[in-house]
Structure 1
Amino acid sequence: LLAAVKMSYNVDSPNEMVVDTDDYVGVANAPEKDSVAIINPDGLDQGDSDQQLQDLPLANDYEAMRELVLPPLLDEPKILEDAHNTWTVENWRSMGKREHGPIFQAGGYPWRILLFPHGNNTDQCSIYLEHGFEADAVPDNWSACVQFALVLWNPNDPSLYVHHAAHHRFTKEEGDWG
């Protein structure tokens, strides 16, 4: 599992308050009106499809994955830290219903992966980024705005992976997202 994390704050704020990146997500230098392309699967060339697959990065190429899965932010806020964490999961089938990865630091805060290997009210694996504070030690007014991606890949073949990217304001009351 890989968690790529971007943390930002508003440099114009007198108290350097963390900003919600919802205001910044978008496509850099995008035209005002995007054109619409109609894709006909019958017209696709298998060679083009194979080339596109070859162009995808391997999951363990962290920089390339960051470029692939984390969209650019408009009016890019100051990034406190770019970080990644990898948790190698052993004995998947013997794991419990709810598992936590090891705690890692990013942006000055503790984080960890929350994993439901057999699903969280679903039949599929569920993965979340969660603050790593002890339950009784989360500061009352704590918050962190984070753009992150969760990547699940086969360690024997890092070309086989799935990913999910999100941005979220983590708080004491809402400490996980995925």
Structure 2
Amino acid sequence: MKKTKAIEDNWIPVWDEEFVFPLTVPELAVLRIEVHEYDMSEKDDFAGQNCFPVSELRQGMRAVPLLDRKGMKTPDACPPEKYKRKATGTSCTSLVLVVFNITYVASLSCIPWTASSEVPKAIQAVFGQYSEGGVMREEELRRFMKEVQGEAGAVVNDAIKESKYLKALQKKGLSVDEFYRYLFSDDNAAHPSSPGICDV
């Protein structure tokens, strides 16, 4: 088990740490992601968890829904598509964004989903790389999916056709806010078919 360092006094923490897990039998390996809220005076509060078979994880920047200890969606689940940005900056621990660099090594950077007034700088930087004039059009999203997410051409075409963001892409392109919500949507899940396999 490996842990990130605790980030204190920050409702929108970003853990930019890399973990290397040597795997002898990758087909049997399971990656478990568990999130705790740091508590200085007591035991840290459990926020959520999820587990995935490493051999089936999708590479790139992926949404990971957090489940409770019984493998059910957390009660404070707040899907990105239902929330507009608020100046108050409410935090939600039901989703985290994890960067998977899978060559049988998992490199993790975690960003929790938050309905705050500002998109995290790490996401703004990626958006800036793959957009023009503050807008990400279909071709730029296609390039992002190939270069960052490691998706093949046919998979990209199908993913874009089935995306709930297709109309926005075709009309005006994605803004940084829409791109942020896309990253945390089911369209961008870490595992292609299931919400996770935690069996506790």
Larger Rg: 1
Structure with more of its chain in strand, by fraction: 1
What is the TM-score of this pair, normalised by structure 1?
0.30
Structure with more of its chain in helix, by fraction: 2
